[in-house]
């Protein structure tokens, strides 16, 4: 991606908050069999289908960056970025917004999310809204497991689908519509080429903008137990380890916005930009996991994903 294009996206507006969508969840994204909703462009269906199947043929986007900049207010750029996950954990909790933008040809689709995370308890919740989705998909994150409600794929609406993110060949970085904030920050531990861009604003905060490239394998080795298994799965599943990123850190080193770029190969190449924003630090983040009786015991077969457990 050209430098001008990256700068425009990296400093643009905040990811959209989820809202009420129009009727008709896509079969490709949700995993439901059957015909697509009327009026859905074929290109959009192909794009969402590529997202659902991405883990089988994913290749991380690769882009060379300049070396670390000279001294600046945040200290050494590489160190500042690699320590972002620790600073986020020290914050205790926060609200979070996510946006996953998929581009194929001239078609662009954005999946948005909103929720809260407890960084001490290593748990979080996102409500993810698909284009033209009827109800948000509720996603709960806890210790390498992902619980999803309203996921489709034949799962009853009163049941939860449980997935082990360490068994997903992309580590759940893209296939379920959001990168959780803690994993996004942990991926920055693999930063190897970082450049300080300058001071900008995210919301009402002045932040330091860095851009660079992270290495999935290096991130997996340096990650906390929460993200280690998922990032190791991604390092094994992606053809290339290099992931371009933009990170916006506040004066306490916390990542206020992180944007990663992925390129997925397949019948139609798809570019995925996953953005996470954190705000309202210290806000309550109560996450209650479903009881065993509420977890779907059937099987779900979908490209790039395991059978439900």
94-144 residue pLDDT tens: 999 999 998 888 888 999 999 999 999 999 999 999 887 678 999 999 988
What separation in angstroms does the CA of 105 have from each of 108, 109, 136, 177, 265?
8, 11, 27, 19, 13
pLDDT of res. 271: 85
More confident residue, 259 or 130: 259
Reported pTM:
0.76
Rounded to whole angstroms, the Cα distance separating 114 from 284 reads 14
Helix (H) or strand (E) holding 109: strand 107-118
**Confidence label for 262 from pLDDT (cuts 50, 70 and 90):** confident
Question: How far, in whole angstroms, is CA 303 from its chain's centroid?
Answer: 19
Left if phi > 0, otherwise alpha if psi is -120 to 50, otherwise beta: which for 105? left
- Which range, of 5-9, 172-176, 240-244, averages the lowest pLDDT? 5-9
pLDDT, residue 71, reads 58
Q: Just give the CATH number of 54-294.
A: 2.50.20.20
Other C-beta atoms closer than 10 Å to the C-beta of 4 total: 7
| Domain coordinates in residue numbering, the chain | 54-294
Q: What is the pLDDT of residue 238?
A: 82
- Round to whole Å and give the CA distance between 250 and 253: 5
- The answer on pLDDT for 14 being more than 50 is no
| 135 Cβ neighbours under 8 A, 6+ residues apart | 150
Contact 166, 234 (CB under 8 A): no
Ranking 26-30, 138-142, 285-289 by mean pLDDT, the lowest is 26-30
pLDDT tens digits, one per residue of 51-84: 544 433 444 444 334 344 455 677 899 999 999 9
**pLDDT at position 297, please?**
85
Selected residue with higher pLDDT from 300 and 199: 199
Q: Please check the confidence at residue 302 and state whether its pLDDT lies above 90.
A: no
CA-closest candidate to residue 197, choices 184, 208, 186, 213: 208
């Amino acid at each position: 991606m050209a430098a001008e294009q990256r700068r425009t996206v990296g400093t643009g507006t905040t990811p959209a908050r989820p809202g009420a969508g129009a009727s008709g969840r896509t079969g490709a994204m949700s995993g439901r069999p059957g015909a697509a909703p009327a009026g859905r462009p074929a290109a959009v269906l192909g794009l969402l289908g590529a997202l659902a199947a991405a883990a089988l043929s994913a290749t991380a986007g690769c882009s060379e960056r300049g070396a670390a900049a000279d001294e600046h207010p945040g200290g050494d750029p590489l160190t500042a970025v690699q320590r972002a996950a620790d600073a986020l954990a020290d914050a205790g909790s926060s609200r979070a917004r996510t946006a996953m933008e998929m581009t194929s040809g001239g078609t662009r689709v954005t999946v948005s999310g909103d929720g809260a995370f407890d960084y001490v308890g290593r748990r979080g919740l996102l409500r993810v809204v698909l284009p033209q989705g009827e109800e948000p998909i509720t996603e709960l994150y806890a210790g390498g497991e992902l619980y999803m409600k309203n996921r489709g794929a034949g799962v009853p609406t009163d049941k939860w689908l449980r997935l082990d993110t360490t068994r997903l060949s992309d580590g759940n970085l893209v296939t379920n519509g959001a990168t959780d904030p803690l994993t996004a920050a942990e991926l920055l531990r693999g930063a190897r080429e970082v450049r300080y861009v300058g001071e900008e604003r995210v919301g009402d905060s002045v932040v330091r903008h860095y851009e660079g490239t992270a290495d999935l394998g290096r991130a997996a080795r340096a990650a906390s137990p929460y993200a280690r298994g998922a990032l190791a799965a991604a390092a094994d599943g992606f053809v290339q380890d290099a992931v371009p990123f933009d990170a916006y850190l506040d004066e306490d080193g916390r990542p206020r916005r992180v944007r990663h770029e992925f390129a997925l190969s397949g019948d139609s190449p798809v570019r995925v930009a996953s953005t996470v924003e954190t705000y309202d630090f210290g806000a309550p983040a109560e996450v209650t996991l479903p009881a065993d009786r509420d977890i779907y015991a059937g099987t779900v077969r979908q490209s790039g994903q395991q059978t439900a457990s």
